[in-house]
Each structure stands twice: as structure tokens, then as C-alpha cells.
A and B are shown apart, each in its own frame.
Chain A
Amino acid sequence: MKRVLILFTLFLLSIFVAIFYLYHKMDVIHRKISENVETLFINEAGEFSRNVEGYLKRLTGSDYPVEKLMRNPNLRTLAERALGIIITPTIKYVYIVYKDEDGHYRYLVDGSREDRGEFGEPINVDEPRWRASFLSGKPTVLSQKNLEKIWGTYLYPLKGKKGTDAVVAIDFSMNLPRQINGASRPMQMVFLYIFVAIGLFIFLLAWQTFLLFKTRKISMHDALTGAYNRTFLQDFLNGMDPARYHLLMIDLDHFKQINDTYGHKAGDLILKGFAERVRRLIRNKDTLIRYGGEEFLIFLRRKDGDEVPEIVAERIRTAVADAPFFFEKEKIHLTVSVGLIEKPERYKSPNLAVKAADQMLYRAKRTGRNKVVSDREEATLPYDQEREITLYTVRHALEEGRVVCHYQPIFDLRNGKPVKYEALVRIVDRERYYTPADFLPLIAHTTLYADVTKRVLQSVFNVMERSDYAISVNLELTDILDNKIYDILIAQLKKNRALAHRLIVELLENEPYDSDELVRRLKEIRQFGTRIALDDFGSGYANFALFQKINIDILKIDGSLVKSASVDMKSYNIVISIQQFANRLGIETVAEYIHDEATLRIMRDAGVTFGQGHYLGAPFPVPDGERPFLNIK
């Protein structure tokens, strides 16, 4: 489109130039014709003058006819008649002028039909030029012209014994330029109109382009923050070279709480203030985009010698964390989480780089917020494009029934028997599996998340129908507070009331929640006989208040503690402490990530009730129609 516009503009400009050239050329031709005609008439006047001189010599019988003409009125009369013959519409006056004793010019003979001068009558002339003609003794042309006509006087000296005695003056005047002008004028006017029309068109085009850019500018900026918006982002991503940027995705932590507590006015003020702070910390060549509600993208221009992007990201993080925002004299402390993609060109497309930044941001939020998470470590490895998954892939997998669960056995460490299973969601795609880490961040804020949850619960209850084992599913605390997810869970529990007591809901504490609504909903879930487990206990937000308000049935000790318990005394002691805490409250425990015999022994000796991990048994699929878990030992 841009190229077409440029070509069209060039085309118009070339027409504009061509018309201007033709207009100018016509003017030149017009002028040249006038000059040629003028020359023609001057030559003609010269010829006449020579004839007059010859005639006068013959008439007076003297080579110096002026003397005799001065003395003889009859000769003057004859001469005047002869000169009158020359008069034409072009040659208006023919006369002979002499200089008197005082240097004044006077008529000697006048052959003109109008305005005839008498013998001796003074005549006002352009004295210096006439004098020059007298002195030089050479013919002189005094001519003038304009668009309408050419006029002038041809002076032909008549020589006497002592220089010039008189001059033959022929006044010519013609309106040929007007005639030429009259003939060419319509064409010139046509060119002029075309010229003006194209000029106007180009002006309008330029004006429209200006308006277009102005409108585009408005349409591509977020009115609240002044940052670019997603419309701009789409255009930007289409035309950008990822190798010239670092990419930051920033999210304001707990922004929803600010809106809930102080109102949207405060929220807007903070968004605006945040954007202003960021603008002060980045350069003009960097690009700030409001990606979503409280999510921002920054494309930092890359150049050798520039600051590493982590420093910029960290500076933004601290600028927000260190200085509170103010709303009606109220201090509002805020933090941001930042996902950083150092080399966006490693991704298949800029869009995927943005998604990757979103994933880094997601990790930053999962691991405690107020931090910068970079893909630097991963960036050193060749990017595995095969692992990329899109919303379309997930939706398609749901439609085709390729969202399935794999089940990992959980063993009773006291007798080594499998007692329950953990359902782990997978997407099957071309004989490979996508794990939740591959696609949950992608769909976390989409309706697909609820669809996948529903599919998992349906799948789990289906398997439970065919077995006697308990099965646990993973949810986040925020999922319980999400009306849609919660409704799906309750609906499935009601639908499978007889099986509900074998369902274990493993909750992941990603955020500190102390909500009465959460407690109420967990209690309602437990009324179905469903047990509640806390996942990854020992990391994240260990909210002991939750234990006061609801009965937790199972604690799943965080995998990182379990994995390192055999080599790190602190981890081991934490595991022991968690076990003692669980014993006190009568809560069963599960050790995840048991990856070797040593870890298994330690967990068993620590009194951990259950255990799971690849050493004990990897997750596996359950084919439809089969009675599952028969071969697990």
C-alpha cells in the first residue's frame, strides 16, 4: 500500500512537471515567435529606409538631400507623398527629423497620415538614443514590447557633408503578439488549469495523508497512559527486526486489589504514573506499549555498548518498588514483575517472542513477583521451535479430544503399594506430549483455561469410575476464587457425587490469599467428601492461617526440598519440620520428586506418608475403556 502510494505520488508529480514544462515551453515559443517577427519588421523597416534614402537622393539630385529639402518646400511636399506610400497598418509613422542649431529635434518631412508634424515643429524624443544614432551614423532600433504588442522606432541616418544631417524615423507598431497570445492562450489556460488541478489534488492528497497519519497516531496510542496500544503493536510486530530489540513485559503486581480498594480512578492514576516513570527511564528510541490492562511491553533498541537489558528492567522494577504512588494523599506501594527476552530473534516470530516474554513474566509472578525473570539461560541454548504451542493448537486439541490426563502413581511409603494417582494434563500432538508448562501460561487468561479444567475433571471422574483409586487434580487458589472454574468443579462434583470422595484437589499457593470467600468455597468442596491438599508446601506463600480456617487433608512437600534432602541438611530439616507439623495437625504428607533410592529412604525414615516421583513411577496414559492401574506395583 505504501509503495502504491509512493508510485502514485511520483506519477502525479511527473504529470505535474510535464504540464509545467509544456506551459513553460509554450511561453518560450511565444517569445521566440515575437522575436522573429520583430526582427522581420526591423529588417523591413531597414529596407524601407534605404529606399527612402535612395528616393530622396534621386528627388533632390544630390547625395546630401537634407540641405535641399530644408530649402525647398516643393521637394518636401513630394517627399512627404512618397513617404506616405510606406504607411501600412504596421508602419504607422514615417518622418524625417533634423537637429536645429540649438540641438533640438524638429520635423523636416512627415509622411504620416495622422499626427503629422509640420516642417520645423519640435519633437520630443528619447534624446540620448537619438543622439547616439546621429553620432554613430548607423541605423538604430528603439523598440519595446509586451504581451500585447511590439512597438518602436527605426532610425536611419541621412548623411551630410559633416556627418549626419537628419534621420529617417519609422515608427512601427503591431499587435501580432496579442494574436499569437490569443491563439495560444486557450491551450495555455488548459495547461494552467490542469497544472492547478493536479497541484490541488497533490495538496489534498498531502492533506489526507497528514490526516491519515494524525488519525493513525491517535488510534495507535492509549489515551490514558500515552503509550502505544495493541493496534500499534500489531503493526510494529509486522515490520520490526527482532534482532534490533530487547523485549520486556511488565505487569503491575496485585493491580486488581488497587482497583478494588481505591477504585478505578486510583487505578487509572497509577497506570498513568507508571507509564510516566517508565518513559523517564527509557530512551526516545525505545518503544513503550500498553499490552493489556496493567501489562506493558517495552522494546528496547539494541546497540553494542548499550546497557544490558537486565539493568534497565531492574531499574524500572526498583523505580516502582522504591517510590510509592499517591492517590488523594494516600500512599500506594506497588511492585512490578518483569519478563525479559534478551534476544527476540531466537523466536520464530516477534509474536512468539512476545508470548515468551509473557511466559517469563508468568514465571516472575509464580516465583514471588517484584522480580525480573530473563530468558538469558534459555537463550544460550538453541531455541526449540517444536515446543511452541498456540491458542489454536490448544483449542484444536480440545475439539479433537487430544487434551488428556496422564496419571502418576502415589505410593504408601510404609508398604510400598500404590494408593492413589495424580492426574497430570497433557496435550497430544503428533505422537508427542505438551506438558502444562508449555501451554498453561498461554491459556491462563483465556476461556480455554476453564475448558481444559473441565476436560481434566471429566477425564478424572471417567477414570475413577473404572477404578477404586483416589485421584488428585491440580488447581490454583485463584482458580477456586474464579467463578467459572469453581462452578465447573462444583458441577462435576454434583454430577459424580458418588466418586467425589475419591477426588483430591491439590491447591497451589501462588499468591497470599486470606479471603473468607476462599474458605467458604473450600468448605463447600469438602462437603462432597473431596479432600484438599496443599501443593508445593514449603515454597511460595505458606499461609498458616488457612489451616486455622479449613481442614487441610494432605500436604505435598515441595519437590525442591525433597530432591535436595539427601544432599542438603537444611532441606532435610525443613522436610522433618513439615512432617512434624503435619503430624501435629493429623495431616497426611506426600513427598514429590523422589528420584532415587536415597531420597526414598530419607522420606520414608522422616515419616512421610506417601511418595511419588519418576523413581517410583512415571506418569502414564490410561486408554479409554480399560480398567486402569491393574499392573502398577
Chain B
Amino acid sequence: MRLLWVVLLPILLLGATDRAEKQIYESLITLIYPQREVVKVWSDDENRRAFLAEMGPRVRLVERPQMADLVVLRHTENLQIDRPIIAERYGILKRYRERAVVGFYWKKGRPHLIFLESALRHFNIRLSDELRAYVVKRP
């Protein structure tokens, strides 16, 4: 928890939001796919797609969620696909509690990073000790 406040918040508040977000997304992708050189990603948000398209060669944006290794959701609530999901709203995190590995969103001016234990287990993802503090059993 302290990591989030000490490291992430200052980075985000210092105006380097875009760059900081990229770093966070890179970290999350690495966490979910530590060995994979290219990760195919799909998002239901245009802005996020544009954002992901600029993340470098490791991230390849795909047109359909079925083609993706990782799905970033902000709006869609009824996607039937068994892929790790990064939720960009609490509602999405709650909706996809079995597959939403992590929720990363802003609320009340604070960045929220929440890992769901069930999804982590489902996709067999291991977290470092530092990140274990952000794991919750239920959304």
C-alpha cells in the first residue's frame, strides 16, 4: 500500500501522468505475461487503444478481443472471453471478478490498484511480496 503512495502517486501528480501510466501498464503486462515477448492487447476504449498503440513493440494492439492475450475494459460488461482483464472501473472489476486480474483506476483523486485473488489464481499469476498488499479476496 505504501508503495502505491510513495512511488505511484508522486509520479502521477508530477505531470508525467502519461509516461507514468505507461510504466504501470508495462509493469502489469510483465506481471501477467513475464515470459512473453509480444503481448496482444485489446481495449474497448478508444483513448486507451491509442494509448496502448504507443507502448512500443512489446504490445501489439488487436482488433477483436478473441485475438488478444490481455483485455483492458472500461465499458463492456458482458464480454465472454477467458483472458486476463485489466479493469478500469470498479464496476468492471466487480463484474469480471473471475478474470479481472487487476483493477487500475482513479477515484477521489487517488490511484487505485486492486488485485483480485481469484483471478490471479485462475491465471496462475504470482505477485511479489510488495504487491501482495494490494490483493483482495473479493472486489
Contact = CB atoms under 8 A, between A and B. Distances in A.
A124 B90 contact: no
A596 interface: no
Interface string A114-144: 0101101111111110000000000000000
Given A115-B107, A171-B108, A126 B136 contact: no
A483 B26 CA distance: 104
A37 B102 CA distance: 40
B128 to A, nearest CB: 17
Nearest to B110: A124
Interface residues on B, range: 10 to 19
Contacts of A626: none
B1 A124 contact: yes
A112 interface: yes
A124 B136 contact: no
Give the residue among B1, B111, B136 with the most A Cβ atoms within 10 A.
B1
Interface in A532-585: none
A125 B1 contact: yes
Nearest to B112: A124
9 contacts: A104-B136, A115-B107, A118-B90, A121-B139, A123-B107, A124-B4, A124-B111, A127-B2, A127-B133
Residue from A93, A117, A126, A173 having most chain B Cβ neighbours under 10 A: A126
Contact of A122 (B2, B108, B111, B114): B114
Interface string B94-108: 000000000000011
A377 interface: no
Contacts of A122: 112, 114, 136, 139
B109 interface: yes
A128 B5 CA distance: 10
Contacts, number: 47
B109 A171 contact: yes
Contacts of B134: 124
A533 B136 CA distance: 133
Given A102-B136, A104-B136, A126 B5 contact: yes
Given A102-B136, A117-B107, A171-B108, A124 B2 contact: no
Contact of B137 (A102, A115, A171, A173): A102
A104 B5 CA distance: 15
Contacts of B108: 92-93, 112, 115, 117, 123, 171
B113 interface: yes
A117 B105 CA distance: 13
A45 to B, nearest CB: 15
A123 B110 CA distance: 9
Contacts of B109: 115, 151, 171, 173
Contacts of A126: 1-2, 5
Contact of B1 (A102, A127, A171): A127
Q: Which of B2, B107, B136, B137 has the most CB of A within 10 A?
A: B107
Interface in A306-364: none
Interface in B42-76: none
A87 to B, nearest CB: 12
Contacts of B110: 123-125
Nearest to B114: A122
A92 B133 CA distance: 28
A104 B133 CA distance: 9
A102 B1 CA distance: 14
A104 B115 CA distance: 12
